[in-house]
Amino acid sequence: MKKEIKMEDLVNYCKQYGFIFQGSEIYGGLANTWDYGPLGSRLKNNLKDAWRKRFIQERKNSYEIDPSILMHPRVWEASGHVASFADPLIDCKECKMRHRVDKLIGAFDPTVPADAMSEEEQLAYIKENKVPCTKCGKSNYTDIRQFKLMFETQRGVTDDNKQTIYLRPENAQGEYVNFLNVLRSMRTKLPFSLGQIGTAFRNEITPGNFTFRTIEFEQMEFQTFCKKGEDEALYDYYKEYGKKFYMDLGIPEEKLSYHDHDKLAHYAKAACDIFYEFPWGGDEINGTHNRTDYDLSRHQEYSGVSHEYTDPDTNEKYIPYIIESTYGVGRSLLAILFNAYRLEELENGEERELLSIHPFLAPYKVAVLPLVKKFHSEKANEIYENLSKYFMVTYDEAGSIGKRYRRNDAIGTPFAITIDDETINNGTVTVRHRDSMEQEIIKLEDIVSFVEERIKF
């Protein structure tokens, strides 16, 4: 029997076990910033490695790059961010809460396509339906105003010689401005893909929801450059590929759904999000977009450098189309945690905390547990030192063996190895499986192969 997990349950769990802490907590915190602790950073890196394996390692003509966070200001003029990257926001006059207009309307009635409305239509809807503030319940608002989402900073050492530059609001442009470099240096041809994992920054007004929407966030970006005419099939393919990626990570299909955009961005021919069913409702963890030839055309225009591709077989010249598929690291991690964390009531009436996570993602793969510290710790430390050469291992000798099993269940460790007299006398260990709690005896020399076979992704 499982108990329902609420947001406050997960927040407390993440803090207790070292997954996620409030940013700058000793100073009272900074809104919408979060620090990943020892287990959280390990889990996040394992998620990135899973993405790298599926999107870079296992795909032909896929290359990972790591562009700079700070880019030439003209990049953001070409992309359209300088001119139009803003959110329509509205303030409650009663409690001063600031809302993103489409989210405010969506909270009132999720069936209303708020993002497809004009600002005039949004304001009229709010007034006609007396949409309440989600904080105070009143319906008394300012007019809608546009708020810039890009963080600006200054480059230069003197006041009269400073240049405005931006913290990147997305990672994709780093891939686009390196299209020609990769095409030349890797001697590749279309279609080929560029992937990157990096941090982006947006001065967003957030509704909370833990790490779901933050001002600093990581994206796992994947851009496929192709010929016009091949774009629609690739768009459909990466929608399905993204869903399968999440399912392979352990998220059941019934918690995932596609949501086509009612209102397309200026660059998009088609756009679809994958939603995960969070406790507050379905919300985006992935977006796939057909960006046509917009991006490379704009960079050609603003840089003065040709971005035409010459087909080696036909000598045809054209600017490639781009299919983008973006995965939010923090959002995906939050979905994984909500899906895996549970409180189980056992047959004997006891309750156990369990993180039933894919073994590949687990922060620790194995817990090494000496049955009796006085007699078995020396051998246990020897085994720990050997296993740590192959994968992440934790060592625990404090408390009863049952309590140590429970601690490792709670942090998602898939295998617990107990070191006892049989280990010393016969060279065998007891392996306990996290989810089933079943145990089996294996030989010391088989531990590495036993674990490696079961943590594959």
pLDDT tens digit sequence for 112-153: 988 888 889 999 999 999 999 988 999 999 999 888 889 998
Same domain, 186 and 319: yes
Q: Is residue 163 part of a domain?
A: no
Average of pLDDT values for 69-76? 96
User: Taking the model in full, what pTM does it have?
Assistant: 0.89
Q: Is residue 156 part of a domain?
A: no
Burial of residue 27 (number of CB atoms within 10 Å: 0-12, 13-18, 19+): exposed
pLDDT recorded at residue 345: 87
Q: Is residue 72 part of a domain?
A: no
ω into residue 38 within 30 of 0, thus cis?
no
Structure tokens at 356: 């039933």
Average of pLDDT values for 280-286? 95
Same domain, 334 and 305: yes
Same domain, 56 and 198: yes
For the chain, percent of residues with pLDDT exceeding 90: 82
Whether the predicted pLDDT of 327 surpasses 90: yes
Same domain, 45 and 189: yes
For the chain, what is the radius of gyration of the CA atoms? Answer: 26
Please state the domain count of the chain: 3
Cα–Cα distance measured from residue 289 to residue 251, given in angstroms and rounded to the nearest whole number:
22
CATH number at residue 265: 3.30.930.10
> How are beta strands 321-328 and 145-148 bridged, if at all?
unpaired
CATH number at residue 95: 3.30.40.230
Whether the predicted pLDDT of 5 surpasses 90: no
pLDDT in tens, 339-349: 999 999 888 88
Structure tokens at 441: 């005896």
Same domain, 271 and 127: no
pLDDT recorded at residue 263: 82
CATH number at residue 403: 3.40.50.800
Sign of the torsion angle spanned by Cα atoms 312, 314, 320, 323: negative
Same domain, 319 and 191: yes
Q: Give 1's pLDDT tier (boundaries 50, 70, 90).
A: low
pLDDT in tens, 344-382: 988 888 899 999 999 999 999 999 999 999 999 999 999
Q: Is residue 383 part of a domain?
A: yes
Q: Is residue 345 part of a domain?
A: no
Same domain, 326 and 388: no
Whether the predicted pLDDT of 259 surpasses 80: yes
Q: How many residues does the chain have?
A: 457
Whether the predicted pLDDT of 207 surpasses 70: no
Across the chain, what does the average pLDDT equal? 94
Same domain, 108 and 243: no
Q: Is residue 22 part of a domain?
A: yes
Average of pLDDT values for 272-277? 97
Cα–Cα distance measured from residue 209 to residue 64, given in angstroms and rounded to the nearest whole number:
31
- Please name which of 287, 365, 360 lies closest in space to residue 327, comparing C-alpha atoms: 287
pLDDT recorded at residue 2: 61
Average of pLDDT values for 10-34? 94
Same domain, 448 and 369: yes
Number of Cβ atoms within 10 Å of the Cβ of 48: 17
List of E strands, 261-314? 270-278, 281-290, 309-310
Same domain, 111 and 49: no
Q: Is residue 421 part of a domain?
A: yes
Q: Is 140 or 160 the better-scoring residue by pLDDT?
A: 140
- Residue 388 is part of which domain span? 364-454
